[in-house]
A = this chain, B = another copy of it.
Amino acid sequence: MKELVGIDEWKIVEDGIHMHNNRFYESLMSLGNGYMGMRGNFEEGFSGDTLQGTYIAGVYYPDKTRVGWWKNGYPEYFAKVINAPNFIGIDVILNGEKLDVAKMKVMGFKRELDMQHGCLKRYFTVQDKKGNVTEVCAERFLSLKRKEAATIKYSVTPVNYDGKIELTPYIDGNISNEDSNYDEKFWNEINRKSTDFNAYLTMETKKLGFRVTCAMKCDIKGESINIEKSQNISREKYVGKRFLVDVPKGKTAVLYKYITVTNNRYINNEKLEAEAVNLLNDIYRKGYDELFLEQKNAWNEEWEKSDIVIEGDAKAQQAIRFNIFQLSQTYRGDDPRLNIGPKGFTGEKYGGCTYWDTEAYCLPFYLSTHSSEVSKNLLIYRYKHLEKAKENARKLGFKGALYPMVTMNGEECHNEWEITFEEIHRNAAISYAIFNYVRYTGDEEYLPLFGYEVLVETSRFWADRVTYNKYKDVYMILGVTGPNEYENNVNNNWYTNKMAAWNLKYTLEVSKLLEEKYPKRYEELKRKLKISDDEFNKWKDIINKMYYPYIKEFDVFEQQDGYMDKEQILVSELDKKELPINQHWSWDRILRSCFIKQADVLQGLFFLGDEFDIETKKRNFDFYEPRTVHESSLSSCVHSILASEIGYKDKAYKLYLRTARLDLDNYNNDTDDGLHITSMAGTWMTITYGFGGMRIKDDMLSFNPYIPDGWEKYSFKIFFRNHIIKVAVEKDLIKISQSSGEKLNLRIFDNIYAVGPNSEIAIKY
């Protein structure tokens, strides 16, 4: 595979300009700070292919749905992440000619994402038709500390001529979404102002009225330069400021653009503009250098918590940092109304909505790298949507709660019947996240306070959704789509049946726990939820009589009824030219084939790992993995973790690289649309849960580590309850140290060790 980015442990570098691959680099070079984010677009005008994208967390648009054939129960709208006003723009005119790297001779070009400090830089040199050579350097960052702030430093140097340079920083609200169903524009202008002191633009989204103010204040500095003229510009949906600057040959004009972005998800409409201006004045006073110092410190702190260090494999090192960097940019955990879209702030695809990815893949990363408040906010997000999930179930004719497949505010957005109505396993993931959170954090009180209601209502859904088969005296779940979306509308997907029964079982366990430890609250909840013994008995009956398909010939679980009636071929027998099958095969052929998109039975073996022995895991892995095409970004990580567990080290490492470098190497040829943010959390797990063999069992952290061939050493840090643990794995040595917290017992392989405060233990293996 050819390398698309240079290998550097802390940087992602595009060296030389790639006009036909610009969207790919724009995606990679995305910046975010949890509050807002943007693709690695150019500040100056660019007439080549680009996907301009600025996104503000939680600001979405309920786009009119587009379906071929309407089905009862479909949602009325599809929530879209919305491309917000472009505040990075700076038009540049060099001696009368517009700066545009697509049209000028480019003599050198480098775009560089500095992951260590959360900053994007570009250096390039252009020559116009008259032979004038100009050097440009652009740097920008979104402040991690001041979420509403962004800063740009844009330097222009006429190398071999005396320049008359026009620089026009602006804010543009006349933007559109590529992913709009009916070519609508989503924003209306509310107000704008452009003065000598600052300029701002307030825009509002149609329908839902999200209001955003972008304000800017600019400075031009430079030795021997002369600002000949400056002019405020204001026109519909646009404010800007034009500077005409004389820059002597070899000298540099530096434009500083300070930006703040406020929105009415946090601030009242009336105060939006004043607040934007206040914040703007603050950062302007600070100045670029000091703000950048803040940024460095903030990112240092971030890395201190979450970095994974790999020695002896720069590719792997770069990859894992890229994954962690993007995750940290996307979700900060300070607002329970927010969640993690599969593309974060890096593109429009998948509408920026919430999927089960959050519970199944992202939660473990945030549990181990941030305080428990962050993960708790992810859970509270779903708790707040419980009423909508109940409505959703009612709409489909069921009791209890069915959480949506895709959502922004709790309402279902997806409109393919085989997903919307049938990919119901997602409901169990919501419950599993509660289990996982409590198991990890020990925050048992979450259950009586919030978790139990969700557990009961999801259980009620399952109890109503099963079909009792009187001929066979079993409960079945008919008409579902499992995690493997290359099967639709199947009966008795093993994973779904398993997780449904698990959900019921866990709810009963929690009921008992509440009854014993929180009796008063339990009585209150029982009354509120109108729980009866009959209902519990029904659940027990379902748990006892749940039907699980099974393949006798191979002694493995059967993915669903009839899976073995399919022609059994292995992925290795396929012509490489047919891969990925989702780009080469018609849909019916995919459905009819035995090929698996992502972990399905194996997802269950991962989630409920304690229930199965290594031999069972191995048999199922041996059967299913060779039939899996890994065409979901969420596939490789689970397989890699299981491969580690059963001792398939080569396989585990191969799959690690595939998930870790999915975007950097553009593995699925779709990074143009944006990054695969949620799968990045899976990548993090392949190291910690996979190579590190981390698990939580009986309230105790345990590790079962090994080191991939070719690595010298790797280390990661884990927040666990009140402890900060560092795990370092070398060829034959494991070191565990604690930098914060009281004495902690941990299990390494089969032994329990105590690690004291600020101390380290070393184990040979």
Q: Please give the residue numbers on chain A whose beta carbons come within 8 Å of chain B beta carbons, in ascending order.
A: 65-69, 71-73, 182, 395-397, 415-418, 421-422, 467-469, 471-472, 476, 478-479, 488-491, 553, 561-562, 564-567, 582-589, 591-592
Contact partners of A182 in chain B: CB under 8 A: 182
21 residue pairs A–B, Cβ–Cβ below 8 Å: A65-B68, A68-B68, A69-B416, A71-B586, A72-B584, A72-B586, A73-B586, A73-B587, A396-B586, A397-B589, A422-B588, A467-B592, A471-B553, A471-B564, A478-B562, A478-B592, A479-B591, A488-B488, A488-B489, A489-B591, A491-B562
CB pair B66 A68 closer than 8 Å: yes
Check if B467 sits within 8 Å of A396, measured CB to CB: no
CB-based nearest B residue for A478: B592
Q: What residue in chain B is nearest A73 (Cβ atoms)?
A: B586
* Inter-chain contacts of A585 with B (CB < 8 A): 72, 397
Whether the Cβ atoms of A565 and B491 lie closer than 8 Å is yes
Q: Besides the contacts A69-B416, A479-B591, what 15 more A-B pairs have beta carbons closer than 8 Å?
A: A65-B68, A68-B68, A71-B587, A72-B585, A72-B586, A395-B586, A397-B586, A422-B588, A467-B565, A467-B567, A478-B562, A478-B592, A479-B592, A489-B591, A491-B565
Taking CB atoms, residues of chain B closer than 8 Å to A584 are 72
Report Cα–Cα, A46/B513, bound state, in Å.
71
Q: Chain B residues near A67: list those with CB within 8 A.
A: 66-68
Minimum CB–CB distance for A649 against chain B, Å: 34
Residues of B within 8 Å of A589, CB to CB, are 396-397
A72 near B469 with CB under 8 A, answer no
When A468-B567, A491-B562 are in contact, do A588 and B66 touch as well, CB less than 8 Å? no
How many copies of this chain sit in the oligomeric assembly?
2
Contacts of A586 in B (CB 8 A): 71-73, 395-397, 421
Whether B421 pairs with A587 at a CB distance below 8 angstroms is: yes
In the assembly, what is the distance between CA of A25 and CA of B564, in Å? 54
Shortest beta-carbon distance from A601 to chain B in Å: 19
Question: In whole angstroms, what is the CA distance A66 to B422 when docked?
Answer: 22
Partner of A562, one of B416, B417, B561: B561
Would you call A416 and B587 a contact (CB within 8 A)?
A: no
Instruction: With both chains docked as a complex, state the minimum distance between the C-beta of A377 and any C-beta of chain B, in angstroms.
Output: 31
The complex places the Cα of A67 from the Cα of B181 at a distance, in Å, of: 10
4 interchain residue pairs of minimum CB distance: A73-B586, A421-B588, A71-B587, A479-B592
CA distance A415 to B582 in the complex (A): 17
B-side contacts of A418, CB under 8 Å = 489
Taken together as a complex, chains A and B put the C-alpha atoms of A472 and B564 apart, in Å, by 10
Give Cα A584 to B395, complex, Å.
10
CB–CB A583/B72 < 8 A: yes
**Could you tell me if B396 and A588 are in contact, using CB atoms closer than 8 angstroms?**
yes
Minimal beta-carbon separation of A489 from chain B (angstroms)? 5
CA of A403 to CA of B479, assembled, Å: 28
> If the complex has contacts A491-B565, A561-B562, A566-B478, are A587 and B72 also in contact, measured as CB distance less than 8 A?
yes
Chain B residues with CB below 8 A from A66, complex form:
66-68
Question: How far does the Cβ of A583 sit from chain B's closest Cβ, in whole Å?
Answer: 7
Most buried by B among A182, A488, A490, A592: A592
CB of A588 within 8 A of CB of B416, answer no
The distance from the CB of A562 to the nearest CB of chain B, in whole angstroms, is 5
Q: Which among A65, A182, A585, A586 has the greatest number of chain B C-beta atoms within 10 A?
A: A586
Decide: A73 and B417 in contact? CB cutoff 8 A: no
User: Which residues of the other chain, B, contact A564 by a CB distance below 8 angstroms?
Assistant: 471
Q: Do the beta carbons of B588 and A73 come within 8 Å of each other?
A: yes
Q: How far apart sit A68 and B412, CA to CA, in the bound complex (Å)?
A: 15
| Min C-beta distance of A104 to chain B, whole Å | 38
Q: A397 vs B71: C-alpha distance in the bound complex, in angstroms?
A: 29
Min C-beta distance of A490 to chain B, whole Å? 8
Contacts of A567 in B (CB 8 A): 467-468
B588 touches A417 (CB 8 A): yes
Q: Are B417 and A476 in contact (CB under 8 A)?
A: no
- Nearest opposing residue in chain B for A417, CB measure: B587
Closest Cβ of chain B to A455, distance in Å, is 23
